[in-house]
Structure 1
Amino acid sequence: MNFLKRQFDDLRTGKLSFFFTVVVLFWIKTYAVYLAEFNLGIQNALQHFLLFFNPLSSAILFFAIALFWKGRARNIAFVMINLLMSFVLYANVVYYRFFNDFITVPVLLQAKTNNGLGGSALELINPLDILYFLDLIVIIGLMIFKKVKPQERLRFRSVMAVMTSAVLVFLLNLGLAEIDRPELLTRSFDRNYLVKYLGTHNFTIYDVIQNSKTSAKRAMADSNEVSEVENYVKANKVDPNPEYFGKAKGKNVIYVSMESLQTFVIDKEINGKEVTPFLNSLVEKEDAIYFDNFFHQTGQGKTSDAEFIMENGLFPLPQGAVFMTHANNTYQSAPAILKGEGYTSASFHGNYKTFWNRSEMYRSFGYDEFYDATYYDMSNEDEQLAYGLKDKPFFEDSMPMLEKLPQPFYTKFLSLSNHFPFDKHAEDSGFPEGEFGDGVVNRYFQTANYMDQALEDFFNNLKENGLYEDTVIVLYGDHYGISENHNNAMSKVMGKEINDFENAQLQRVPLYIIAPGVEGEVNHTFGGQVDVRTTLMHLLGVNTKDYLSFGQDLLAEDRKQIVPFRNGDVMSNEYSEIKGVCYDNETGQPVEEGSNACEEISKEATKRLELSDKVVYEDLLRFYEPEGYKPINREDYQYINPNPKSTDNPDEVTHEENHE
């Protein structure tokens, strides 16, 4: 009782009054940010209450640290803690404005490699964002005008009592969240859920803990762990379609990553002009298979995630990018598999090799060559973007290098022009901006048109150089370009309201497989990037029965049409579960309450994601070797250009000198 009395005495005498002022200001500010910036899918009164309530525990906990000091030192500590917490909150705001996602520890670790992203960040900052630091300005003002009296040091027990209250508030928060979302911390694949129920700062703590566990998972794994994955994968294999198996055997392979291209652009017209006339023409081409229900499945790694998924048949991670966090793992990627079929492999990219840590990840994939920015002339500013070379000079300058590769080859080209914020291409394309009241959306059609022109030039060059007839070309959209923060403009583009269901439909990206000699079609199967590796291998006549992947041949007759997403959503040919709501694809409306229409596909999607994460986190492929497969030795691959055309990136040169 004496202990509690001392705590009440501290409160009554005003020793904690300024502390509570700081906490309440930050609490209300955070709630206002949630409402203004994040679309968290609030569905009931309890969720709305939790959204209001969840900033409180972290605010009490972190500001309580300042109570260990006294006088001016305590006030300075309040300012520094507020500044740090406000920065974390605001960083998430800016990140969410484009990615519709929240920052994780792996994202922070990979930030140093994302050179050139500064322009994108500036595009997302609004002058009114200063209001998100208003509480900090207020408490500094109170100190300057001496409205805050220096406080004596609190008893240690008093400070610990405040911190304990923060834990109790969090446990209450978590208990209420578990009522609405059971097993929130153990089963959720959705960061939106975690922020909605627990808040940004509690999510950050959770993320730090999860990442520390990840490091331990690999250390604890052994060869027995791979059995569950192997049993599941082999039980769910589907036979390849005999009409297509081996139809492209021995042909070269060219992948083209079409930056940020979404399917809604195909056949779209602006002021009577086709946005992508060349890609439109491929839809009905006699040797092109076009998939119109194909979805990107990327997470926070975006373009690098797309590469990872399509070359490994595995899913990206729930936090961060595999390219950054698990580049040293053992993989059995497409370049490595085809090496056993006599293929040479190469990747072409108009940015430097440290971007997305490709120089390290490609070593684990077994790429023979990596032609990065040092192989291109980067001196012409008119041909440059913040992310590297524009598409037309990139494809044109890549042709001599492509022609020199021994055949058959497996290659990949990463385009860049159609990248947020979609600028610097008005004169290049000669295509008009859209008129949808949103600069980002308006410019998107210009850069998409420019990329379309560059692709047509590339195809013509392949034909002129005699490569086209002996090559399978896979064109794919890597991830979305227009986030749901632009849904007002996209409603005008699409001519209908963009709700959660319609936004999920916009995650379609184009997939073309052009294989001379293979009969073309428009294929309506529902599939995703995880299905592409198996599809390509079967076209090339490579049996995949012993490889561990979670994709199914897009051309197989008996495939399950289930498309899991990293945010917890799942699509099928009949139903879609979006943000926890089950929709009928035909009507676009939620199914009747109590229906279990999405139960099976949701369970299947969760299983695939869990097992894929197990493979990556525990590096299980080091314990598994398919029959006839020769493992990759990372030490055999070094990407050093002996005669670089460009050394504009001094960090890159220093890195390579040290690496060598």
Structure 2
Amino acid sequence: MKTYFKQGSILFFFIIAVLLWLKTYSAYLIEFRLGIENGLQQFLLFLNPLSSSLFFLGIALFFKGKIQQVLLVVIQLLMSILLYANVVYYRFFDDFITIPVIMQTKTNAGQLGNSAFSLMTPYDILYFADTVLLILFLVKKWYKPSLISNRKPALIIMSAAIALFMLNLGLAEKDRPDLLTRSFDRNYLVKYLGTYNFSIYDVVQNVKSAGQRAMADTNDITEVENYIKANKVAPNPEYFGVAKGKNVIYISMESLQTFLINYELNGEEVTPFLNSLADTGEAFYFDHIYNQTGQGKTSDAEFIMDNALYPMAQGAVYVNKAQNTFQSAPAILKAKGYTSAVFHGNYKTFWNRNEMYKSMGIDRFYDAEYYSMKEEDTKNYGLKDKPFFKESMPMLEELPQPFYTRFITLSNHFPFEMDDGDTDFPPAETEDKIVNQYFQSAHYMDAALEQFFQDLKSSDLYDDTVVVLYGDHYGISENHNEAMAEIIGKEVTPFEYAQLQRVPVFIHVPGVEGGLIQSYGGQLDIRATVLHLLGLSTKEYLDFGSDLLSKEHNEIIPLRNGDFVSPDVTMIGEKMYDSQTGELVEDPDDYAHLAAKARKELEMSDQLLYKDLLRFYKPAGFESINREDYQYVKDED
């Protein structure tokens, strides 16, 4: 072996690289659920951190002396930070950090602290133990930089890293063909390529996305328009227009999952008010609606409700595409004389709402500046639900009618901890504190909703208002499956976890008898349902919703990660399960056309969004939104 491989710096380099490799592999095994199914996948999981460690740390070897020392520390630290950030993010979101997520962090800076800190443990310091070791070696001068004048070691190491990556990619493509082009699921990319390589892939995808809009033209919208209009369904004539001219109130029920409806904890109903809506026929109750949000969570749910388009696969539309052209429900209703408003007990910059709402054509935004925000009334991300609804009523009553509004609740947010005196509902009794607290915060939200409904009735708005309550996204992530198995009384398999992704939807229509609707649907279907109730046709609009009350309703429900749900089969990670029994189907190829349809719909929506194609399309009678017409500044009295 050449003499330059005998240098202490090279030996020390390999020690650092191996420590980073093994640390990353250990994190894969301990922190992430990547669905390893065979020996090849296990081998790739073990292999992929090695090429990344050699490649990125190898950059330091192109330099000498102090610069080499500093670069080794900086690169190793940055990779450790990236790994640990993914670990913490995954503990709640079951997902990996992307460039758009980092941009969201800028937008929401300072407001995510409580959730992040609750996900950290004292043992997490071990993720930086090798970094400390490296700094110690340098400070104590146990490591002296090489005086090699040529770059052969660096070139050989970089070549080896690239060769390992190509081997990795080749084996991954063999196990999952077209990995980089047809996977919507980041879990697959990390399983096959690793967190570091995924981050590079993510950067490339975002650069590519930025260029898509610039290259788009009017011809690009033709395929999307043809696809959407060929799949439109007619409204149910029994319900079309039964709420014509009525006010509309949407209520975003933070982190509420369907399993809580009619669930009793130690003999007590967790959500007695919502149960009454479900059981009495006072509202339509849809119990098979699946959460279709992505990384934007609550903001994604808002986006879906107003636009019936799929959110971004990476990041949030509210942050990354706020300047796009949209044909939102608030904008559509302007031609019918509607005033639109959003009520939210947090500040207007959270999730970039003050910018996104301009593109949506929302007339008024009542953010935290309009509320008292007393210390005893705030929790998590803003005002607690009960004072929020109570303080909102005077503002709601002053709105010109008819109005289209949304109320965004906050109290039932991870980590679900309640202040003393907010609720006397007991926690669950599992070994998982997060799950235990979830029942208390959900019960509190339910009581706040009941209070709001009573206030609506007292104000005479109730009989002239359509109220839509929807769960925005899951509350309990996959990290808590062991405790959830105790709650639901059976093992949380991948199929059962998909069932836990159901979110409750209630639609109260004045003078119309409701009841249980068990059609399979997604959050995208709510917009068409509500607009049809108001007597507005959606056939000219480019969206992907399907009226839940229509006899022709489409029951193939794509999820943002590329999976789908239908009454017959549910696809999770390309495995097909019988939707009624949860068992694997015998002939999954029989349902390949459903998977293709789900992918096609996601692709069509992504084209609309990433290329901003709605700027080339104007439905008859629709007045385009001018962002300059909207400013959300509180008038000083």
Same fold (TM over 0.5): yes
**Residue 462 of structure 2 corresponds to which residue in structure 1?**
468
* Contact 1:425 1:446 (8 Å CA) reproduced: no
Secondary structure, in 3 states, of the residue corresponding to 1:577? strand
**Residue 448 of structure 2 corresponds to which residue in structure 1?**
454
How is 1:350-365 mapped onto 2 (pairs within 5 angstroms)?
350-365=345-360
**Residue 658 of structure 1 corresponds to which residue in structure 2?**
none
How many angstroms does 1:72 deviate by?
Answer: 4.1
**Residue 626 of structure 2 corresponds to which residue in structure 1?**
633
Secondary structure, in 3 states, of the residue corresponding to 2:506? strand
How is 1:226-265 mapped onto 2 (pairs within 5 angstroms)?
226-265=221-260
How many angstroms does 1:498 deviate by?
Answer: 0.6
Unpaired segments ≥5 residues, structure 1: 645-660
How is 1:105-144 mapped onto 2 (pairs within 5 angstroms)?
105-114=99-108, 115-144=110-139
CA distance in 2, matches of 1:223, 1:577: 35
Given the alignment of the two structures, is residue 611 of structure 1 paired with residue 604 of structure 2, yes or no? yes
CA distance in 1, matches of 2:170, 2:239: 54
Unpaired segments ≥5 residues, structure 2: none
* Contact 1:582 1:597 (8 Å CA) reproduced: no
How is 1:339-358 mapped onto 2 (pairs within 5 angstroms)?
339-358=334-353
How many angstroms does 1:75 deviate by?
Answer: 2.7
Partner amino acid, structure 1, of 2:197: N
* Contact 2:343 2:366 (8 Å CA) reproduced: yes
CA distance in 1, matches of 2:64, 2:400: 72
Given the alignment of the two structures, is residue 301 of structure 1 paired with residue 291 of structure 2, yes or no? no
* Contact 2:9 2:144 (8 Å CA) reproduced: no
Equivalent position to 2:214, from 215, 219, 237: 219
Any idea what the Cα deviations from partners look like across 1:7-61, whole Å, max 9, x if unmatched?
Answer: x442245552221111111101100000000001111111111111111111111
* Contact 1:70 1:151 (8 Å CA) reproduced: yes
Secondary structure, in 3 states, of the residue corresponding to 2:546? coil
CA distance in 2, matches of 1:12, 1:546: 72
TM (normalized to structure 1)? 0.94
Greater mean alpha carbon deviation, residues 404-413 or residues 163-172: 163-172
Aligned residue pairs: how many? 636
CA distance in 1, matches of 2:207, 2:71: 28
Any idea what the Cα deviations from partners look like across 1:383-410, whole Å, max 9, x if unmatched?
Answer: 0013110000000100000001111100
* Contact 2:9 2:143 (8 Å CA) reproduced: no
**Residue 57 of structure 1 corresponds to which residue in structure 2?**
51
How many angstroms does 1:210 deviate by?
Answer: 0.7
How many angstroms does 1:519 deviate by?
Answer: 2.2
Equivalent position to 1:496, from 486, 490, 498: 490
How many angstroms does 1:499 deviate by?
Answer: 1.4
Partner amino acid, structure 1, of 2:522: G
CA distance in 2, matches of 1:424, 1:169: 50
CA distance in 2, matches of 1:15, 1:142: 12
Given the alignment of the two structures, is residue 326 of structure 1 paired with residue 321 of structure 2, yes or no? yes
How many angstroms does 1:68 deviate by?
Answer: 2.1
How many angstroms does 1:169 deviate by?
Answer: 1.4
How many angstroms does 1:157 deviate by?
Answer: 4.5
Partner amino acid, structure 2, of 1:619: D
Any idea what the Cα deviations from partners look like across 1:292-340, whole Å, max 9, x if unmatched?
Answer: 1011111000000000011101000010000000001000000000111
Any idea what the Cα deviations from partners look like across 1:402-451, whole Å, max 9, x if unmatched?
Answer: 00111110000000000011112452121111111111111111110010
Partner amino acid, structure 2, of 1:31: Y
Secondary structure, in 3 states, of the residue corresponding to 1:611? helix
CA distance in 2, matches of 1:91, 1:576: 32
Equivalent position to 2:35, from 29, 38, 41: 41
Secondary structure, in 3 states, of the residue corresponding to 2:365? strand
How many angstroms does 1:558 deviate by?
Answer: 1.6
CA distance in 2, matches of 1:578, 1:256: 30
Any idea what the Cα deviations from partners look like across 1:176-198, whole Å, max 9, x if unmatched?
Answer: 10001111111110100110000
Distance 1:15 1:144, change over 3 A: closer
Distance 1:15 1:627, change over 3 A: same
**Residue 172 of structure 1 corresponds to which residue in structure 2?**
167
TM (normalized to structure 2)? 0.98
Partner amino acid, structure 2, of 1:459: F
Identity, in percent, stands at 60
CA distance in 1, matches of 2:360, 2:159: 49
CA distance in 1, matches of 2:205, 2:62: 29
How is 1:395-474 mapped onto 2 (pairs within 5 angstroms)?
395-474=389-468
Secondary structure, in 3 states, of the residue corresponding to 1:455? helix
* Contact 1:31 1:51 (8 Å CA) reproduced: yes
CA distance in 1, matches of 2:556, 2:420: 39
Equivalent position to 1:79, from 52, 67, 73: 73
**Residue 560 of structure 1 corresponds to which residue in structure 2?**
554
CA distance in 1, matches of 2:416, 2:130: 35
* Contact 1:67 1:154 (8 Å CA) reproduced: no
* Contact 2:282 2:508 (8 Å CA) reproduced: yes
Partner amino acid, structure 2, of 1:561: E
Given the alignment of the two structures, is residue 478 of structure 1 paired with residue 491 of structure 2, yes or no? no
CA distance in 1, matches of 2:340, 2:476: 32
CA distance in 2, matches of 1:556, 1:215: 38
Given the alignment of the two structures, is residue 203 of structure 1 paired with residue 198 of structure 2, yes or no? yes
Partner amino acid, structure 2, of 1:322: V
Greater mean alpha carbon deviation, residues 308-317 or residues 155-164: 155-164
**Residue 574 of structure 2 corresponds to which residue in structure 1?**
580
How many angstroms does 1:586 deviate by?
Answer: 1.6
* Contact 1:267 1:280 (8 Å CA) reproduced: yes
* Contact 2:9 2:145 (8 Å CA) reproduced: no
Equivalent position to 2:593, from 600, 612, 621: 600
Greater mean alpha carbon deviation, residues 319-328 or residues 115-124: 115-124
Partner amino acid, structure 1, of 2:613: L
Distance 1:287 1:271, change over 3 A: closer
CA distance in 1, matches of 2:199, 2:10: 27
CA distance in 1, matches of 2:46, 2:420: 44
Partner amino acid, structure 2, of 1:246: G
How many angstroms does 1:145 deviate by?
Answer: 5.0
* Contact 2:52 2:196 (8 Å CA) reproduced: yes
Partner amino acid, structure 1, of 2:633: I
* Contact 1:570 1:605 (8 Å CA) reproduced: yes
* Contact 2:418 2:440 (8 Å CA) reproduced: no
CA distance in 1, matches of 2:372, 2:451: 19
